[in-house]
Amino acid sequence: MKKILTLIWQLTLITALCACNSNPDTNNPEITGNLSHVSQKNLKRYGIRSGIVHYKSIINGKVMGSTITGSGHEDLYFDNWGALELKKKEEKKITHMNIFGHKKTQVDASKSIDKLDNGKSYNVDFKNKIIYVRDDPAMSVMKNTKDADVEHAGKQMLEAMGGKQIGEEKVLGYLCSVWQIPGGKQWIYKGVPLKIQMTVMGITTTQEATSAKFNISVPSKYFELPDYPIEKMAGFGNIGMYDDSQSDDVSDMKNLRKMSYKEYVEVLKKNDPETFQQMSEEELKASYNLMQKMASQMGN
């Protein structure tokens, strides 16, 4: 059960970014047509064949008497309509703490590489020098949905979590669909996020593209991973490491369909108290609605 609850929050952002193509290429019938007969391998995550996007991010806010600031950058490379993708991210966060008059500054730096290759997800653990591979959770759920139209299903899930398209704006000259979601906004161009603003527990993170080039040749070197050992993970990556990792996902989804909002809150409070404490009432309702939508999509 806890595995499914965690999966819901992983899918919230994944679905929004890879499944909501609100600006289809009307000159390509492969994109605008119904995708219900397209296999998982050929499912188009984006309405663009390939691209290279560079982002910068700014972090700031206050929580429990501490002031947090930070910055970072991310590089996105993708080909084959997003079936092949690699993200490289580096971030530095500074926390200024003042506890009963005692001041302390903590600096945290992180870097990550995530690669998606036709339904397989690779995550680089730089600390232990190992690469974890697993089935990508978003693609795994989409494979089992009754509605294989990725664009339509993505919009339904965004709306189920309380999202609403509020207009269109240009980012770097590209006309994006602007979505208001609990805790933030997203600017999406043909499925590719060009700007994201999210506020969680008083901390606001803004990520915006500084350059974007689409439908270009992306050299294979940009999809290379470090020469680390590869370890296969069962289930949905870290989610599969919980005690109940052997439970059946589809069976869990059927049980979740019968769960009331009150029961959902109690389960979350019991199984994942840390996450529960960080969520507002609006976020709880949004996650419950998304859960119900996912369970319904999974079908029988």
| Residue 30: per-residue pLDDT | 35
Residue 230 bridge partners (DSSP) = 131
For the chain, percent of residues with pLDDT exceeding 90: 41
What is the C-alpha to C-alpha distance for residues 224 and 5, in angstroms, rounded to an integer?
A: 32
Tell me which of 258 and 82 has the higher pLDDT.
82
> CA nearest 46: which of 22, 18, 23?
18
Confidence band of 33 (pLDDT split at 50, 70, 90): very low
| Residue 147: per-residue pLDDT | 47
Alpha carbon distance, N-terminus to C-terminus of the chain: 18
| Residue 144: per-residue pLDDT | 57
Mean pLDDT of 86-112: 89
| Residue 274: per-residue pLDDT | 60
Confidence band of 17 (pLDDT split at 50, 70, 90): very low
| Residue 285: per-residue pLDDT | 77
Confidence band of 237 (pLDDT split at 50, 70, 90): very low
What is the C-alpha to C-alpha distance for residues 166 and 156, in angstroms, rounded to an integer?
A: 15
H runs (alpha helix) in the chain: 2-18, 29-32, 137-143, 150-160, 249-257, 261-271, 273-278, 281-298
Crossing angle, helix 150-160 and helix 2-18, to 10 degrees? 120
pLDDT per position as a tens digit, 171-199: 999 999 999 988 899 999 998 999 999 98
What is the C-alpha to C-alpha distance for residues 7 and 138, in angstroms, rounded to an integer?
A: 9
Crossing angle, helix 281-298 and helix 2-18, to 10 degrees? 90
What is the average pLDDT value for the chain, to the nearest integer? Answer: 76
CA atoms within 13 A on the CB side of 130: 7
> CA nearest 180: which of 194, 163, 205, 193?
163
CA angle 26, 187, 78 (to 5 degrees): 65
| Residue 172: per-residue pLDDT | 97
Cβ–Cβ < 8 Å for 209, 171: yes
Confidence band of 46 (pLDDT split at 50, 70, 90): confident
> CA nearest 277: which of 205, 199, 202, 201?
201
Asked if pLDDT for residue 119 goes beyond 60, the answer is yes
What is the C-alpha to C-alpha distance for residues 300 and 290, in angstroms, rounded to an integer?
A: 18
Tell me which of 75 and 239 has the higher pLDDT.
75
Mean pLDDT of 12-40: 39
What is the C-alpha to C-alpha distance for residues 190 and 197, in angstroms, rounded to an integer?
A: 18
What is the C-alpha to C-alpha distance for residues 225 and 88, in angstroms, rounded to an integer?
A: 10
Asked if pLDDT for residue 83 goes beyond 60, the answer is yes
| Residue 40: per-residue pLDDT | 44
| Residue 138: per-residue pLDDT | 66
CA separation, residue 298 to residues 147, 180, 286 (Å): 9, 25, 18
